[in-house]
């Protein structure tokens, strides 16, 4: 069965022959579990290497999200994450299938987590494709009950939804704020990021999260603190501040010699806006574009080993890296 061979399938994908890919994928349903997994991994490797799949080639892959074998479903979900990260438009036909996996409480939680992650990547570029209220509810409600591994991906997906369309979650600020004290650093970071994205276009909505954001100014994570300061700076720019949380003391605790530039820039942004709501913005802070551009680097810095990161800007170093940080110029 030549066309069901994983290596042959990868070649079909690289050749860009969509019809051949569709036919080969269809034949996979009749082969053993290990071959199905190998074939799906071959597709994912091709996508990771830069091969772009169109909707016609990607759509048949959704059948593996409901495969009888859990490992096959997880491999397929990981494939859709890779595809959504590089070519989100190709995943649009799979949104309903991914949403169905996310909504299935009986599904293996790692499968649900990856489906949520894939939906998030689609939402950044095609927010209308992930606009179903039930899907958004599944993302939000899961923060209350799901496994930690799922919560991280749910929070990440919510941040991406907000980045794709800041107005999509503007009525849910209070429910997002309820989870800003989550144990997982990345959950806190992604939810703060979602609130910043909302605040870029609807800053007045952040009033419902003000107290929770104020508490995050003393978070153990410099990146969570930075996003919280950014959100509060956006809120400070609204016309009717009313009773505002006193954040000056928390901002004064930021150590200019030790904190990464990510936090320093956002603390300065917050200070300026508190002093003068019409103050000139800090470059690279307080816009949807800056959040989109900076989130991946921030997450990389947060997840890098402590001994391999610049203590000032958070840039990850490889072992044996340069004596000076190539980003900020600070000695290691």
pLDDT on residue 268 = 94
Q: Which residues lie across from 316 on neighbouring strands?
A: 309
* Residue 307 CB neighbour total at 10 angstroms: 7
Instruction: Give the model's pLDDT for residue 52.
Output: 76
What does the alpha-carbon distance between residue 77 and residue 306 come to, in Å, rounded to a whole number? Answer: 30
- Confidence (pLDDT) at 200: 95
**Using CA atoms, how far apart are residues 192 and 155, in angstroms rounded to an integer?**
9
Q: What is the pLDDT of residue 1?
A: 41
Tens of pLDDT, residue by residue, the chain (332 residues): 444 566 666 666 666 666 676 677 777 767 888 988 988 888 888 888 887 777 777 778 898 999 999 999 999 999 999 999 988 998 998 999 999 999 998 999 999 999 999 999 999 988 888 878 888 888 888 888 778 888 999 999 999 999 999 999 999 999 999 999 999 999 999 999 999 999 999 999 999 999 999 999 999 999 999 999 999 999 998 865 555 677 888 998 999 899 999 999 999 999 999 888 888 778 889 999 999 999 999 999 998 876 555 655 556 555 445 555 655 544 44
61 Cβ contact partners less than 8 Å away, ≥ 6 residues apart: 25, 40, 43, 76, 79, 80, 94
CA–CA gap between residue 118 and residue 77 (Å, rounded): 8
State the Cα–Cα distance between residues 245 and 28, nearest whole angstrom: 58
Q: HSE on the CB side for 270, CA within 13 Å? A: 29
201 Cβ partners below 8 Å, 6+ apart?
166, 167, 288
Mind giving me the DSSP string for 202-253? Answer: -GGGGGGGHHHHHHHTT-S-HHHHHHHHHHHHHHHTSS---S----HHHHHT
What pLDDT is recorded for position 331?
47
DSSP letters for 69-114? SHHHHHHHHHHHHHHHHH-GGGGGGGHHHHHHHHH-TTS-HHHHHH
Report CA 177 to chain centroid distance, whole Å: 17
Q: Which residues, other chains included, contact 251 with Cβ-Cβ below 8 Å and sequence gap of 6+?
A: 217, 229, 267, 270, 271
């Amino acid at each position: 069965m030549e066309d069901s061979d994983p290596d042959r399938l990868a070649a079909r994908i690289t050749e860009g022959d969509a019809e051949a890919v569709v036919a080969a994928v269809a034949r996979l349903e009749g082969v053993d579990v290990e071959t199905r997994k190998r074939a799906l991994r071959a597709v994912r490797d091709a996508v990771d290497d830069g091969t772009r799949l169109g909707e016609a080639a990607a759509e048949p892959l959704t059948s593996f999200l409901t495969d009888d074998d859990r490992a096959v479903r997880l491999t397929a979900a990981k494939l859709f994450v890779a595809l959504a990260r590089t070519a989100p438009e190709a995943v649009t036909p799979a949104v309903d299938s991914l949403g169905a996996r996310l909504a299935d409480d009986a599904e293996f939680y790692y499968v649900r987590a990856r489906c949520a992650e894939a939906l998030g990547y689609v939402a950044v570029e095609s927010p209308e494709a992930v606009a179903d209220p039930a899907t958004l509810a599944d993302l939000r409600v899961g923060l209350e009950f799901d496994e930690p591994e799922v919560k991280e991906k749910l929070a990440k997906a919510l941040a991406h939804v907000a980045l794709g369309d800041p107005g999509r979650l503007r009525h849910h600020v209070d429910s997002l704020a309820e989870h800003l004290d989550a144990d997982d650093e990345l959950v806190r970071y992604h939810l703060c990021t979602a609130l910043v994205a909302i605040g870029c276009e609807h800053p007045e909505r952040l009033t419902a999260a003000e107290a929770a954001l104020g508490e995050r100014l003393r978070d153990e994570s410099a990146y969570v603190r930075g996003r919280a300061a950014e959100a509060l700076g956006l809120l400070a720019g609204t016309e009717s501040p009313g009773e505002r949380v006193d954040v000056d003391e928390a901002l004064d605790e930021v150590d200019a010699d030790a904190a990464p530039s990510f936090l320093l820039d956002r603390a300065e942004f917050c200070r300026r806006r508190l002093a003068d709501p019409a103050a000139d913005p800090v470059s690279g802070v307080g816009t949807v574009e800056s959040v989109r551009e900076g989130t991946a680097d921030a997450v990389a810095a947060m997840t890098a080993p402590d001994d391999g990161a610049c203590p000032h800007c958070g840039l990850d170093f490889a072992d044996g890296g340069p004596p000076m940080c190539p980003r900020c110029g600070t000695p290691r």
